[in-house]
Amino acid sequence: AQSVTQLDSHVSVSEGTPVLLRCNYSSSYSPSLFWYVQHPNKGLQLLLKYTSAATLVKGINGFEAEFKKSETSFHLTKPSAHMSDAAEYFCVVTHTGTASKLTFGTGTRLQVTL
Amino acid sequence: GAGVSQTPSNKVTEKGKYVELRCDPISGHTALYWYRQSLGQGPEFLIYFQGTGAADDSGLPNDRFFAVRPEGSVSTLKIQRTERGDSAVYLCASSPRRVVSTGELFFGEGSRLTVL
């Protein structure tokens, strides 16, 4: 079985300050992990992915995430938030045993204030 | 079109009625997925097509739900005898390859179904 737990349902940061969205995973096999972003009235979009190469993964719009096997974590970070980052973020897991399925977390809503 | 297209964008129906939701994937994408997103939840897997065949339908909640992709492109999700609990946003996504190798699905904006 595989699952992800997003530890915060809502995160609020000021523009220009760092962003941290937390995700822990559970997988019986070596996982592939992803972050997707959903802006209001837009389709889900892949932000970044980890597939057993480098543990520090860089994505679009300045986001990055670090795979930590010892902590079963894949937290999403960005050094400086922008107003346009306000959206819903989903941590996602899959592995080769379930090639057809992405398993999504419950999401973290990021609010960015002036 | 350039992206995944889903119609209708909104559907309101009465309990017990039959509903069809359509998905037009990106041209050339052989893999097609249906997900369901309830309020405050992440998307939940329903069914996966590779070409015309349903390679994995383990996420369909019961036999009221059925999906087809007869020519390997457009897909239709069919819900019989709708119930209030079916109210959700139904998401369609496509990919040029098996998702595990890339992780990237291209999602449509969804069809919001409301069952009164």
- Supply B22's token pair: 């359509």
- Which residue, A103, A72, A81, is CA-closest to A20? A81
Residue A108 has pLDDT above 80, yes or no: yes
Straight-line distance from the first to the last Cα atom of chain B, in angstroms, rounded to the nearest whole number: 33
Q: Is A8 on the interface with B (CB under 8 A)?
A: no
* pLDDT one-digit tens code per residue, B92-115: 999 887 665 566 889 999 999 999
Q: Prior bond to A40 cis, omega within 30?
A: no
* pLDDT one-digit tens code per residue, A15-66: 999 999 999 999 877 788 999 999 988 889 999 998 777 889 999 999 999 9
Residue A99 has pLDDT above 60, yes or no: no
Cβ separation A104–B91 shorter than 8 A = no
- Supply A43's token pair: 């389709």
Residue B8 has pLDDT above 80, yes or no: yes
Cα(B91)–Cα(A66) distance, integer angstroms: 28
Cβ separation B56–A94 shorter than 8 A = no
Residue A66, phi then psi, degrees to nearest 5:
-120, 125
pLDDT score of A1: 73
Average pLDDT over all residues of chain A: 91
- Supply B16's token pair: 């017990």
Interface with A, mutate which of B45, B48, B58 (most A CBs under 10 A): B45
pLDDT score of B2: 79
Distance from CA of B82 to the nearest CA of A (A): 25
Q: Are strands B10-13 and B111-115 parallel, antiparallel or unpaired?
A: parallel
Average pLDDT over all residues of chain B: 92
Chain B residues with a Cβ under 8 Å from any Cβ in chain A:
3-4, 33, 35, 40-45, 48, 55-56, 59, 91, 93, 98-100, 102-110
DSSP state of B116: -
Other Cβ atoms less than 10 A from the Cβ of A52: the count is 10
pLDDT score of B114: 98
- CB proximity list for B101: less than 8 A, separation 6 or greater: none
Beta bridge partners of A6: A23
The least confident of A3-7, A110-114, B40-44, B101-105 is: B101-105
Q: Where do we find the tokens 């960005």?
A: A78
Question: In B, which residues are within 8 Å of A96 by CB distance?
Answer: 100
